[in-house]
Amino acid sequence: MVLNIRRRRPLGWGFRLAVFILWPLMMLLTKRDWRGTQNLEASPGGIIVATNHLSWFDPLAIALALWNNDRPPRFLGKESVFRVPFVGAVITSAGQIKVYRETAEAIHAVRDAVTAVQNGECVVVYPEGTITRDPELWPMDGKTGAARIALATGAPLIPAAMWGPQDVIGPYRKEFRILPRKTMHVAFGPPVDLADLMGQPMDSNTLRIATDRLLDAITDLLAETRQTPPPAERFRYHRKEDRP
């Protein structure tokens, strides 16, 4: 039997509490533009949604788009957030997935995400790994976690592009400009074609090819949403692990 986790299924008290508090506020305080939502039905079971990362506000935007389309999201989140009093209890109950950044335990997040997808969940991944550092807010280079989950499960890898959350909270800024109401644009694309990579060794070359295809798809969706051509090359952010 194919599992398919929808809003009517048990989701954990933390998930229900977050929806009870946040859903009416988001519906009241934002305008919404969802596109390509039919792509969320690419599989009767679990899916991976990979999206660009603009702002600390955009998890609420993508969560609202998915919830309103009957795909309760499970996010990968920094392990440190799970240790915040009460917040940690809520997101643990809500089934969110711990990410231990830059440690030997980082692979556990992929393992737990694979299990969630196999159990019929909609798992949300930010392939950039952090809010974009691109000066024009285009997707930058990415990590391979989303590709790894997709290749391990065979589940559809759905690219998504957001535009609008940065108007509420700018990248890396301490601000909150919810009024006047901003439009949250979220576009979902068709699954990234990874058929030729299935069954191949899951080495760095295979994962990089899959990740580049994913980021190309996200960038194309964002360009269509913004009605602006993207840069010729993606911005490369030199993370700690990249530096000499």
Summarised one tens digit per residue, pLDDT across range 42-57 is 988 999 999 999 999 9
Q: Which residue has the tokens 């559809």?
A: 156
- Domain span including residue 57: 13-229
Task: In whole angstroms, give the CA distance from residue 237 to residue 241.
Answer: 11
Q: Does pLDDT of 243 surpass 50?
A: no
pLDDT at 10: 80
Q: Which residue has the tokens 């911005």?
A: 235
CATH number of the domain within which 79 lies: 3.40.1130.10
Task: In whole angstroms, give the CA distance from residue 22 to residue 74.
Answer: 16
Largest separation between any pair of C-alpha atoms in the chain: 50
Instruction: Tell me which of 107 and 240 has the higher pLDDT.
Output: 107
- Whether 95 is in a domain gets the answer yes
Q: Does pLDDT of 242 surpass 50?
A: no
Task: In whole angstroms, give the CA distance from residue 64 to residue 46.
Answer: 18
pLDDT at 244: 34
Give the three-class secondary structure for 29.
helix
- Whether 244 is in a domain gets the answer no
DSSP letter for 129, please: S
- Whether 103 is in a domain gets the answer yes
Residues pairing with 21 in the sheet: none
- Whether 1 is in a domain gets the answer no
Total count of domains within the chain: 1
Q: What is the mean pLDDT of the chain?
A: 91
pLDDT at 101: 63
- CA torsion 200→205→208→210, rounded to 10°? -20
What is the arithmetic mean of pLDDT over 8-21?
89
122 neighbors 71 (Cβ within 8 angstroms): yes
How much of the chain, in percent, has pLDDT values that exceed 90?
75
Task: In whole angstroms, give the CA distance from residue 209 to residue 195.
Answer: 12
**CA 226, 167, 141: angle at the middle one, nearest 5?**
60
- Whether 237 is in a domain gets the answer no
Of 77-81, 119-123, 153-157, 173-177, minimum mean pLDDT range: 77-81
